[in-house]
Amino acid sequence: MDNKGNTRGIGSEIMIGGIRFKSNVLMAPLAGYTCFPFRLMVRKLGAGSAYTEMVSSDALKYNDKATSKLLYTDDREKIKCVQLLGSVPTVFERAAKSDLLEKFDIIDINMGCPVPNVIKAGEGCSLLDDIPRASRIIEACKRSGKVVSVKCRIGMNRQRIVIEEFARMCEASGADMITVHGRTRDMMYDGEPLYEYIRIAKQSVRIPVFANGGIFSKADAARMMEKTGADGVMLGRYGFENPLIFSELTGKEITDTKYSLLMEQLEIAKECFDELYVLSYIKKLASYFMKKMPGTKGFKLDLYKCGNIPELKDVLGGIFRGKQDAGTGTF
């Protein structure tokens, strides 16, 4: 493949930093969502990998319960990827070399989060305006000996689009992969991605470049690959709303419905976490799964009244299994 722009097919295998991914369709890190059970599910459905929720590099030194949940993994997760957020290179290096991250194969550095409190802390997207610091962070993580990827945006606004310089810096600093969200910071999560700037990033480096933003269907993914020449795609919010999209994009044959996936997620979550966490996670996942279903408001009221796991199972069966049996779709 010509790394200057010729695309590979969606669902193709790809090597990143010496690690072979069975699919070039990845799941993005999503704070509050991409927990261990969810990552297992999208891998089963065809995703090449999925990242942990965003973890503060500074918070790792406290090793509290919240951070432990974010980092939970076991041998069922074949490629383990963690995403770190921060602004201090020495803190990143200490985190990357820590025992807490020893089990992870890949460290992804968040240089794309656009929310105000992250920007004010000099983290996430703000690093687009401090390229020397961003470079030192990548170099610090690489000293751990792990594969390092970077997730970024194209710039802070349309008057300062820096993705060409930024992508080259990432490669020169040792990054093994870049994921480019094709929006500026001030666009947040709205508007059509600016495909041409992802293509510029792709043409500027030799390492794999993944494209992110605005992918809600197979047609969207195909358009993204065609317009950008990217090596693969990374799904965000829609991957949580409809994880079956991974099997659609990769051509992986499955028999799962949304109901069967929820039941499987519940059982995995029970193995790993306390009941309060399980209830919160499954309610959140089910709420996304039932989007656009008739009667959603009433279903959600029933769902959030559940105070224990048996109640939750009964309600989920009434909501999803009834729809499935009625032939109203793959619920």
Q: Which tens digit of pLDDT belongs to each residue from 8-51?
A: 789 899 999 999 999 999 999 998 899 999 999 999 999 999 99
Q: Which residues contact 72 (CB under 8 A, 6 or more apart)?
A: 35, 36, 272, 273
**Could you tell me where the beta strands, DSSP code E, fall in 63-144?**
81-85, 106-111
Q: Are residues 165 and 262 in the same domain?
A: no
Question: Which pLDDT score, from 0 to 100, does residue 322 have?
Answer: 60
CB atoms inside a 10 Å sphere around CB 183? 23
Q: Are residues 233 and 275 in the same domain?
A: no
What is 247-309 written as a DSSP string? HHHHT------HHHHHHHHHHHHHHHS-HHHHHHHHHHHHHHHTTT-TTHHHHHHHHHH--SH
Domain of residue 266, residue span? 258-325
The one-character DSSP state at 106 is E
Residue ranges in the chain modelled with pLDDT below 50? 1-3, 5-6, 324-331
- For the chain, give the percent of residues with pLDDT over 90: 83
Q: Which residues contact 259 (CB under 8 A, 6 or more apart)?
A: 316, 317, 320, 321, 324, 331
Question: Is the model's pTM score more than 0.85?
Answer: yes
Q: Are residues 204 and 301 in the same domain?
A: no
What is the domain count for the chain?
2
96, part of any domain: yes
Q: Are residues 177 and 314 in the same domain?
A: no
Rounded CA-CA distance 331/323 in Å is 7
Active-site annotation holder among 35, 81, 113, 152: 113
Contact (Cβ atoms closer than 8 angstroms) between residue 266 and residue 282: yes
Q: Are residues 148 and 227 in the same domain?
A: yes
Q: Are residues 226 and 188 in the same domain?
A: yes
Contact (Cβ atoms closer than 8 angstroms) between residue 56 and residue 85: yes
The verdict on whether 113 is a catalytic residue reads yes
Q: Which tens digit of pLDDT belongs to each residue from 98-112?
A: 999 999 999 999 999
Q: Are residues 162 and 268 in the same domain?
A: no
Rounded CA-CA distance 75/313 in Å is 27
Q: Rg of the chain over CA atoms, in angstroms?
A: 20
